[in-house]
Amino acid sequence: MNTAVNSLNSVSQLLSKVVDPLAALYYKAFNYNKYLAGTAFAAIITLALFFLMVALISLGDDTLPTDNSRKLGDVIMPDRDIDTLFDNVDKPEEPEEQPEDIAQPELDLAPIAGMDVSLPKPKANFAANGSFFRDGEYIPLFKVTPIYPRRAQERGIMGYAVVAFTITETGTVENTEALEGFCGDPTDPETVYRECSIFNSAAASAATKLKYKPKIVDGKAVRVDNVPHKFTFILEES
């Protein structure tokens, strides 16, 4: 305990010997010119802090760990010639011959016997704006080939179907309905037809895709209902 007290007294006396002359010098300078004394005191403190920072940095560098790790150099691969495994590649075999296309049914756009489809002599009707329209019956514009029913094709069945529909003012077809169907060989004049419905659905579906020039009456397009049409289904000989 006495040793510690003696050490503190020694440090205090040493500080007094150093600080007291400086304090006395500062007071004398302050009494002489306070601005000059303040500037000098600030410069001394700044210089002391600078040396203190330098000392701390020097001590800090000594305590930093040393990097003893090894660094790998860049790896450079030498140029090499690449050997191909196959020099000559065989051409693929030619594909087998494609099967013959399925025979498409013939489309008979001729009107049913007994119907009067003759066109009357057109007459010109003049409108107020100077243009004119010719009256006349509907005329088919777009030919459609119906899809041959697969079941009929597999069994070698031929025949025809009659449908009825409405031609609108724009020439499209609606309200399609199958009226009758018959199975037989249309190419044989002596064939005996029998009633069947195997072609009715295909004929009705094809009829919806027909396009017509609409019927013109007094210069205006009009609807025509219950227009009959016959689709003939014939298998081509292989």
Query: Quick check: helix, strand or coil at residue 162?
Result: strand
| Angle ∠(149,150,156) on CA atoms, nearest 5 | 90
What tokens does 228 get?
A: 């009959």
pLDDT at res. 45: 83
pLDDT in tens, 70-121: 666 666 767 766 666 656 666 666 666 554 555 555 545 454 544 444 444 4
Reported as a single tens digit per residue, the pLDDT across 120-142 is: 444 434 333 333 457 789 999 98
Query: Which of these ranges, 18-32, 113-127, 177-191, 199-213, has the smallest mean pLDDT?
Result: 113-127
Q: Name the nearest CA neighbour of 231 among 164, 146, 174.
A: 146
* 3-class state of residue 181 by DSSP: strand
Distance separating alpha carbons of residues 168 and 121, to the nearest angstrom: 22
Compute how many other C-beta atoms are within 10 angstroms of the C-beta atom of residue 161: 27
Give pLDDT, residue 196: 95
* Strand ranges inside the chain, DSSP E: 124-126, 132-134, 139-142, 159-167, 173-183, 194-195, 211-213, 215-217, 220-222, 224-233
For residue 140, what are its two tokens?
């088919």
Q: Of 47-56, 71-80, 213-222, give the lowest mean pLDDT range.
A: 71-80
The predicted pLDDT at position 27 comes to 72
**What's the angle, vertex CA 227, arms to CA 222 and CA 233, rounded to 5?**
140
Residue 65 has pLDDT above 70, yes or no: no
pLDDT at 156 over 80: yes
Task: Categorize the per-residue pLDDT at 225 as very low, low, confident or very high, splitting at 50, 70 and 90.
Answer: very high
Global pTM reads 0.45
For residue 59, is pLDDT > 80? no
